[in-house]
Structure 1
């Protein structure tokens, strides 16, 4: 078995910034109400009829490649973690073409806010079994396209963005993806979803029903209870399997959903809040993009140093949740 490590990251967000005062013009809310309950001050939203998740994914991926001067032809596999493709058949192939990674296999991975964690784990498996050497993983979502902007429960939360990482094969001794722990509870899938609704009557003699996807629907209270109970348990189980404790953690990087969730998870694990990596206030919940977006910003700000232990945990629709523990090697 060979090792795997992250050698570069990149991120991209749209230009349009919508703050809480802007939101209060379309629904009954206020900056104080949103900040107090979520920690979000503003979010970025993709505009333009010809702009899609592919554009953000491309920008994030190219930044990761350019940082280490890697030729796109060196990429063997592209995994695009997204729940908002611009083509229901998938958008990874479009990213592959736009980047110019002609030799790479490309596919979408749909796991909503847990998507980037699952992408790390999936890429690591391909590398550790010797199938591929260089893998580009991208978490990107444009959930603004699936928001009911008259629904105060959801329109205040979500933003658009993309984050990318290049995972490369290395010696077993230099392995930096230390371990992972993943879970799913499909019985709670209705708590956070974008459901497909069929028309009431069939359209033809074959009695085939057709319909369309609805807007984001979320039960905030249940999602909060799910996150603050399941995520600490997942982290604890993963750390125990590696014979590590919370005292060994340098940084806690959680899906950027809500500041109350971030604090509650840290408190349950007795991890000091100074170890939480967060940029939630600037971008809101960017789904699969939130973890790599925050990771890239933390690295740009020189927060993370060589050999730091980072616990990364994603959670969301599905319901899915999972943890991956990495040692920063760059």
Structure 2
């Protein structure tokens, strides 16, 4: 039988510092009601000085390994757009910090779709025999890339990390990743970006602009793109694996905005109550979004073994991705603030 990637464990962390809407309202032209009405977010977690993306990724990875009951993997994949530095990749540092030895490790930069891209890459490594067990981490520290005067981004993004351990198994096992749909459209790269810090800026011949160090986002167009691409990607994925929308017990969509979640549900013909919602507690955590939502739902027993779970994401790039599984019987610990 063909080797298939099976979910064996999960772990997730957020920084201990909680930033409520009221705190942001003191410096921005906004208020708690405005933020909650338009985004669904009540609070988000931001790192304090001295905490990096790699620190969050390491803490989440450690919890995922413990959840899976293992202390070794053959490969570490870190999905992040806010790595510890431009070069080298942060994944090898995470692998070393976890005591995993000299295993293969690399970063993926696919913005909010990064965790699902990472699952796809891990599934390919397992199917080909390159790896028998893979740690996939989604981690981002966007608070370091937010313009504190930009209401459109500062109210939305939070920091966090979520991780999964995948093992080799068979497609008929619970936890098997049943297929993938991936896509991108680079023509829309300017809709969400950090313009500075790369070769385009360095090679432009112009002095670096301080504003280019911050995330910028065209919210209305991103909303439209997100709902259309996640719905279309989900439909393609469901068709490939032989599920209908009626077969889906839970949808773990990228946690960007509660209105996006509801619109995707409507387009797919899912009851809105079937959409996992975790962004009210943590905001948009980019690559960490889906594993954080899944961890929260598993701990609260909202998701139970045997449930059919659809996952879909959309982010900068533009990029999008979808996958699905029947939820396995795994031991998942609460989201930790111990970094």
Q: Do these two structures clear the TM 0.5 threshold for a shared fold by scoring above it? A: yes
Who is 1:12 aligned against? 13
Q: Deviations over 1:192-243 (max 9, x none)?
A: 10012799x999xxx9766375210100000001011111111111111122
Shift of 1:245: 0.4
CA distance in structure 2 between the partners assigned to 1:114 and 1:16 by the alignment = 25
Q: Deviations over 1:35-84 (max 9, x none)?
A: 00000000000001x2101111111011111123311xx21000000000
CA distance in structure 2 between the partners assigned to 1:119 and 1:128 by the alignment = 14
Who is 1:38 aligned against? 39
Who is 1:64 aligned against? 64
Moved more, 211-220 or 58-67: 211-220
Q: How does 1:1-330 map to 2 (within 5 A)?
A: 1-48=2-49, 50-71=50-71, 74-89=72-87, 90-174=89-173, 176-196=176-196, 211=208, 213-330=212-329
Runs (5+) with no aligned partner, structure 2: 330-339
CA distance in structure 2 between the partners assigned to 1:47 and 1:202 by the alignment = 29
Shift of 1:121: 0.6
Change in Cα spacing, 1:267 to 1:20, as seen in structure 2 (3 Å) is same
CA distance in structure 1 between the partners assigned to 2:171 and 2:245 by the alignment = 24
CA distance in structure 1 between the partners assigned to 2:265 and 2:181 by the alignment = 18
Change in Cα spacing, 1:4 to 1:152, as seen in structure 2 (3 Å) is same
1:198–1:211 contact (8 Å) kept in structure 2: no
Change in Cα spacing, 1:127 to 1:27, as seen in structure 2 (3 Å) is same
Shift of 1:6: 0.5
SS at match of 1:177: coil
1:75–1:103 contact (8 Å) kept in structure 2: no
Shift of 1:304: 1.6
What do you get for the CA RMSD once the two structures are aligned? 2.0
Change in Cα spacing, 1:106 to 1:249, as seen in structure 2 (3 Å) is same
2:10–2:68 contact (8 Å) kept in structure 1: no
CA distance in structure 1 between the partners assigned to 2:236 and 2:325 by the alignment = 15
CA distance in structure 2 between the partners assigned to 1:59 and 1:197 by the alignment = 27
SS at match of 2:179: strand
Q: Deviations over 1:83-113 (max 9, x none)?
A: 0011111111110110001042110000010
Q: Deviations over 1:232-291 (max 9, x none)?
A: 111111111122100000100000000000000001111011111111101000000010
TM-score by length of structure 2 reads 0.91
2:68–2:165 contact (8 Å) kept in structure 1: no
1:64–1:166 contact (8 Å) kept in structure 2: yes
Q: Deviations over 1:147-191 (max 9, x none)?
A: 001011111000000000000001343271111111101111101
Moved over 4 A (4+): 207-210
Runs (5+) with no aligned partner, structure 1: none
CA distance in structure 2 between the partners assigned to 1:216 and 1:41 by the alignment = 21
